[in-house]
Amino acid sequence: DAGVIQSPRHEVTEMGQEVTLRCKPISGHDYLFWYRQTMMRGLELLIYFNNNVPIDDSGMPEDRFSAKMPNASFSTLKIQPSEPRDSAVYFCASSSLGNQPQHFGDGTRLSIL
Amino acid sequence: SQQGEEDPQALSIQEGENATMNCSYKTSINNLQWYRQNSGRGLVHLILIRSNEREKHSGRLRVTLDTSKKSSSLLITASRAADTASYFCATNGGQGGSEKLVFGKGTKLTVNP
């Protein structure tokens, strides 16, 4: 079975550019989560969706960050404009129910120069 | 703020020894989950223990939960070099709500061959 698929795996771009991260959750999973992982702050939940609807975006750091889930098999996390402090590994995860184990993708390592 | 806090931050042992990692949390929970992360990869779910359970086993893994002390431990018996990874506890419920997981900063385990 295919797991959670994220693309790209690595992204290096210059400050001010728009960055789009993509995620395909496991088929049949109703919940999708976006996380950011840094050495300083650990793993932080940015936003999560239930049945394609954003439920809680309180972890989104600022208006430069936006996330969408146009259908059950695709989600994007966009940063515009990007800043060096956005450099981190961004993970997408999905689960069948909200309180059940989450399945993670292998992440996108983002470097903003 | 992080709900779960792992202890120790880093642990180095010899192959064949047991490894014990601890997790403390601050508020009531529905369940507590342990995840593993290999370098450069996403998190992988290991085991879930519900708030009304005290102990759970899965292969070489043993998890305990003490809700009165708001703490959990993960024991890996007869460790192998392949167990080298970071281990995270995550709590569901409490300040995170019933659908969100709040992760600790993890314990980095090194198993020397």
Summarize pLDDT for A46-79 with one digit per residue, the tens. 999 999 999 999 999 889 999 999 999 999 999 9
Residue B103 pLDDT more than 70? yes
Find the chain B residues whose C-beta atoms sit closer than 8 A to any C-beta of A: 2, 30-31, 33, 40-45, 48, 88, 92-93, 97-106
Residue A24 is which amino acid? Answer: K
Q: CA B23 to CA B91: how far, in whole Å?
A: 10
Residue B7's pLDDT is 83
Residue B4 pLDDT more than 80? no
Which positions 14-33 of A are in contact with B (Cβ < 8 Å)?
31, 33
Tokens encoding B4: 């779960």
Q: Average pLDDT in the B36-59 region?
A: 96
Listing DSSP states for B31-96 in one string gives EEEEEEE-TTS-EEEEEEEETT--EEEETTEEEEEETTTTEEEEEE-S--GGG-EEEEEEEESGGG
Q: Average pLDDT in the B15-37 region?
A: 94
Residue A82's pLDDT is 96
Q: Average pLDDT in the A82-96 region?
A: 97
Instruction: Give B96's pLDDT tier (boundaries 50, 70, 90).
Output: low
CB pairs under 8 A between A and B: 51
Residue B2 pLDDT more than 60? no
Beta-bridge mates of residue B55 = B64
Q: Average pLDDT in the A93-104 region?
A: 91
